[in-house]
Chain A
Amino acid sequence: MTDFLLGHYAYWFTILVLAVGLYGILVKRNLVKKTIGLSIFQAGIILFFVAISTKWNASVPIKVKGSHVSEAANFMNPLPQTLMLTAIVVGVATIGVALTLLIAIYKRYETLDEEELLEKFQ
């Protein structure tokens, strides 16, 4: 049991980060805090992908001249990391669009509090 818990510590951490992010999105009233929660949620997924590509006693995936296919086990898996580069870019774009929308909302209603906004809609 202890081995199971300790052996998967990276995944428990991922779940924790995802939960914190989801808490921010669902519970916080301020829209900026919701956006921060969204960012944390995406960071959790990025950490998950980085964690699955990690190996003990492995080196950075740089091909040296003369290296052979059989040595592949000595290197980390570069694919999840490259995927996450793309995901980070997507995340930045999402936060950018979110903040732009918040500026539009603030200019119109002068508040970013969800409850106050809903009251103003009535």
Chain B
Amino acid sequence: MIVSDLPVLIPLTFLVSALVVTLFGFWKERWGYPLAVLGTLLAVCLSLYGFFQVMDGSMMRYEVGGWAPPVGIEFVYDTLSAFIVLVINSVALIALIHSRVVGKTEFPGKRGGYYAVAMLLMFGFNGMVITGDLFNLYVFLEISSLSSYALIAIGDKKAPFAAFRYLLIGTVGGSLYLLGIGFLYVVTGTLNIIDMSAMLPQVIDNSAVIGGLILMVLGIGIKAALFPLHGWLPDSYTHASSTSSALIAPIGTKVAAYVVLRIMLYLFGDQLVDIGLPVTSIVGALAALGILYGSIMAMAQSELKKMLAYSSVSQIGYVIMGISLSNPFGFIGAVLHILNHALMKGTLFLVAGNLREREGHTNILKFDESYRKKYPWTMAAFTTAALSMVGIPPMAGFFSKWYLALGTIQNSNWLLLAVILISSLLNAVYFFRVLEKVYMRSSASESTSDTERQEVVPSMLWTTTIAAAALIIVGLFNASIVAVIQHMIPAGL
């Protein structure tokens, strides 16, 4: 294996796995699961190896097909994209290993196709992160979106309708992004991100550039569920099967937020992005509204998965807010929160999957003390993730919020600081509401069957607990992670 080929090998692993899974999965359905896990494991190994190659701030540029950029498409594998690729592939691996039993119960007979589409989804996400070409990014965006519509449609009765609504909104988002590329292309004549960012200072006064920026942020904002463009998210995550939501919820909106970061801080840069229109302030205000709205709506939900979905709307607000602060602390907070939230939401949706598999429902109002006795490890994982969401040290969630708070202080933006603090309290309200039921509320029936351990099968239990343990580990070793993130901060920030 040649090291310089790494940027293209990681997405290709998923594309090849998708083909292999399709081939074998339709022949023998049960082969879909091991092949998908194997492919993802290979991709995780590659991205881990690649991450250590570029973690010192260096960059690999790969010319696809030997056509030199800016004419050809290039893949840019720098510290930031290597980090994001590693995070999304690891979380996907955990979610896929977890899906062994869920697949048998929630989509029997469709597993071959399901895992093939899941591999395509990961191919799209990896491509979005690594590509250095704006139009290529659109193509990968649509690959991942089309796969996620299909994955969300596999679920309970309402799932196809939720997926259709997501498709309508999501395709409009993708199209707006494409229109934005068109605006920028007319002015600069290039589609390569690095090439374009070198040209933008000369043409920044052109109103088409500002129009293009707005359209692109709007289009990707829909994918990232940035308030008020989040309408598709709660229903999609609630009605999708446990595996789909555990796969898409931690990864999908994060990758879109990463694209917003690339556009605002790398393509335009913090100097240019605010010329003509205070884009960062507007995006920051929307993010703050989203944080509050998501938290308040989460408090009102009685369905666990819907509560987690609204919580996602609020958490993506943190990432976007960190980007919009456009200072080093905000940047560190945003990137760290991508990692933390991927792990936290992953754990929480895996717990929801465990409960659905055992109890057949995830209605918070029915939770009581017997759940703690029946599923001690699952509930321990839930508690860990919940504490991390609230932001209690030494859990991972505390540190990203800490850096975000430092970022708001550096900008003297006290309103956003207040939003972070208030939303932490709101987080505490809606998670402790669940914890109170699980640990304090005495169960209705006192039969012994309700107090015996009925923990889920090892493939589900271990993935859930490992994801939860990762939260503590990431929290304890956050200093070394932040040291790596400091290499990613774009020049001039």
The number of inter-chain residue pairs (CB within 8 angstroms) is 66
* Contact present for B149 and A101 (CB under 8 Å): yes
Cα(A97)–Cα(B172), bound, Å: 15
Cα(A49)–Cα(B171), bound, Å: 17
Q: What's the minimum C-beta distance from A8 to chain B, rounded to whole angstroms? A: 12
Cα(A61)–Cα(B158), bound, Å: 49
* Contact present for A101 and B164 (CB under 8 Å): yes
* Contact present for B178 and A108 (CB under 8 Å): no
Give chain B residues whose Cβ lies under 8 Å from the Cβ of A34: 168
* Contact present for A38 and B186 (CB under 8 Å): no
* Contact present for A105 and B139 (CB under 8 Å): no
Which of under 10, 10 to 19, 20 to 34, or 35 or more describes the interface residues of A? 20 to 34
Among the listed A41, A49, A105, A121, which residue makes an inter-chain contact with B164, where contact means beta carbons less than 8 Å apart? Answer: A105
Cα(A42)–Cα(B142), bound, Å: 13
Among the listed A22, A45, A101, which residue makes an inter-chain contact with B163, where contact means beta carbons less than 8 Å apart? Answer: A101
Among the listed B135, B138, B161, B179, which residue makes an inter-chain contact with A105, where contact means beta carbons less than 8 Å apart? Answer: B161
Cα(A86)–Cα(B137), bound, Å: 12
Cα(A69)–Cα(B168), bound, Å: 44
Interface positions, chain A 16-32, Cβ under 8 Å from B, are 22, 25, 31
B182 contacts the other chain (Cβ, under 8 Å)? yes
* Contact present for B186 and A90 (CB under 8 Å): no
* Contact present for B172 and A108 (CB under 8 Å): no
* Contact present for A94 and B167 (CB under 8 Å): yes
Q: DSSP class of B's interface residues: helix, strand, loop or mixed?
A: helix
Q: What's the minimum C-beta distance from B284 to chain A, rounded to whole angstroms? A: 27
* Contact present for A42 and B164 (CB under 8 Å): no
Q: What's the minimum C-beta distance from B345 to chain A, rounded to whole angstroms? A: 25
Interface positions, chain A 29-48, Cβ under 8 Å from B, are 31, 34, 38, 41-42, 45, 48
Interface positions, chain B 139-186, Cβ under 8 Å from A, are 139, 142, 146, 149-150, 153, 157-158, 160-161, 163-164, 167-168, 171-172, 174-175, 178-179, 182, 185-186
* Contact present for B160 and A105 (CB under 8 Å): yes
Cα(A31)–Cα(B149), bound, Å: 16
Q: DSSP class of A's interface residues: helix, strand, loop or mixed?
A: helix
Q: What's the minimum C-beta distance from A117 to chain B, rounded to whole angstroms? A: 6
Q: Contacts A97-B167, A101-B167; is A25 near B160 (CB within 8 Å)? A: no
* Contact present for A94 and B182 (CB under 8 Å): no
Q: Contacts A22-B172, A52-B186, A87-B178; is A97 near B160 (CB within 8 Å)? A: no
Q: Contacts A42-B175, A121-B158; is A104 near B142 (CB within 8 Å)? A: no
Give chain A residues whose Cβ lies under 8 Å from the Cβ of B150: 97
Q: Contacts A98-B167, A101-B167; is A93 near B142 (CB within 8 Å)? A: yes
Give chain A residues whose Cβ lies under 8 Å from the Cβ of B186: 52
Cα(A101)–Cα(B158), bound, Å: 11
Among the listed A22, A38, A52, A86, which residue makes an inter-chain contact with B182, where contact means beta carbons less than 8 Å apart? Answer: A52
Lowest 10 CB-CB distances: which A-B pairs, in order?
A104-B160, A101-B164, A90-B142, A105-B160, A101-B160, A94-B171, A45-B175, A52-B186, A45-B179, A97-B149
| A-B contact list, 21 entries, CB within 8 Å | A25-B168, A34-B168, A38-B171, A41-B171, A45-B175, A45-B179, A52-B182, A52-B186, A80-B185, A83-B135, A86-B139, A93-B142, A93-B146, A94-B146, A94-B167, A97-B149, A98-B168, A101-B153, A101-B163, A104-B160, A105-B160
